[in-house]
Amino acid sequence: PTVGRFETALARLEGTESAVAFASGMAALTAVLLVRGGAGLRHVVAVRPLYGCSDHLLTAGALGTEVTWVDPAGIADAIRPDTGLVMVESPANPTLAELDLRAVAHSCGPVPLLADNTFATPVLQRPVEHGARLVLHSATKFLGGHGDVMGGVVACDEAFARQLRQVRFATGGVLHPLAGYLLLRGLATLPVRVRAASAAAAELAARLSRDPRVARVHYPRIGGAMVAFETVGDPHEVIRTVRLVTPAVSLGSVDSLIQHPASISHRIVDASDRRSAGVSDKLLRLSVGLEDVEDLWADLDQALGEPGGGTGRATTARLRVPE
């Protein structure tokens, strides 16, 4: 019943009839692909970038899917009789690229559009209002919000939800009741957390975009707690020298986290596919938490080092190599 209460709450937030919760975001995506594959609709049309493991799951075809990667303008032409799903993220992980969801949904025709809404949360964007049929969340991120729970959820109509529950029953990717409790409690503060973190993120994005040590800043028009930026110097040096911000994968926590997508979250994606999707080797992805914005800026400012690329510090330690 605790998981059921979380599902009902999330469905109301996303404006859907139902929602089905899973053990993780990847378990949720797996269930969607199995539902469509089970109906003989194994072909997926997808737009890069997506979260690295979502990209990998589609590219590897481990669930019997075949993927066609396209630009948004190429969606309609890529759809075949066996296309079961169109998949997008907006803002996308890790570049924060935004799509016109209404135009994308229109290009899909009768094929269901799955929008990964992990980055925006229903506080900033409700994809169903723009024509998406399925809304995916890694609940591990903003919905839980404290970096202490893993979960996933698909918000959709009841007909699709019924099929998702059958796959969940058969494959075991269930959400633990304690995780359901933590996620439900997370939802109570979701709007307050997202608005506070977004205000800080917008301020940091503005300061970074005026900074000569930063080559490029990516911050979505709809706002949000995520900032991506390309350094002029070595991005690993920033990761190595932050003190308040935690160098770690994941996002959406009360604690600010920073990571280097090319070597962590999107390492699994082929380097050429990564680069053509706009994931530069200089890109850093920052998830802004609830620390004071001046403290966060002071930390980023010292971590970016001296203008001109040098760090102004003795750097005898070797770079930490991410696993």
Ligand X SMILES: *Cc1c(COP(=O)(O)O)cnc(C)c1O
What residues make contact with ligand X under the rule CB under 6 A?
24-26, 51, 54, 89, 93, 116, 118, 138, 140-141, 150, 152
Work out how close the CB of 309 gets to ligand X at its nearest, in angstroms, rounded to a whole number. 31
127 vs 305, which CB is nearer to ligand X? 127
Min. distance of Cβ 152 from ligand X in angstroms? 5
Is the Cβ of residue 57 or residue 296 nearer to ligand X in the bound state? 57
| Closer by beta carbon to ligand X, 288 or else 293 | 288
Residue sitting closest to ligand X (CB): 25
Task: Considering the complex, state which of residue 213 and residue 274 has its C-beta at the smaller distance from ligand X.
Answer: 274
Half-sphere exposure of 182 (CA within 13 A, CB side): 19
Q: How far is the CB of 99 from ligand X (least distance, A)?
A: 13
CA 38 – CA 234 distance, rounded (Å): 46
Query: Nearer to ligand X by C-beta: 233 or 261?
Result: 261
Reading the block at residue 253, the tokens are 């926590």
Contacts of 65 (CB under 8 A, 6+ apart): 33, 36, 37, 42, 43, 44, 57, 58
Structure tokens given for 19: 């929602």
| Distance, CA of 106 to CA of 89 (rounded, Å) | 16
Nearer to ligand X, 52 or 233 (CB): 52
Q: Phi/psi of residue 169, each to 5°?
A: -60, -40
Query: Residue 95 or 138: which CB sits closer to ligand X?
Result: 138
DSSP H helices, the chain, are 2-14, 25-38, 52-60, 75-78, 101-108, 121-124, 158-171, 177-209, 235-241, 271-276, 293-304
Phi, psi of 216 (to 5 degrees): -160, 140
CB of 136 to ligand X, least distance (A): 7
Q: What is the dihedral of CA 41, 277, 235, 92, to 10 degrees?
A: -60
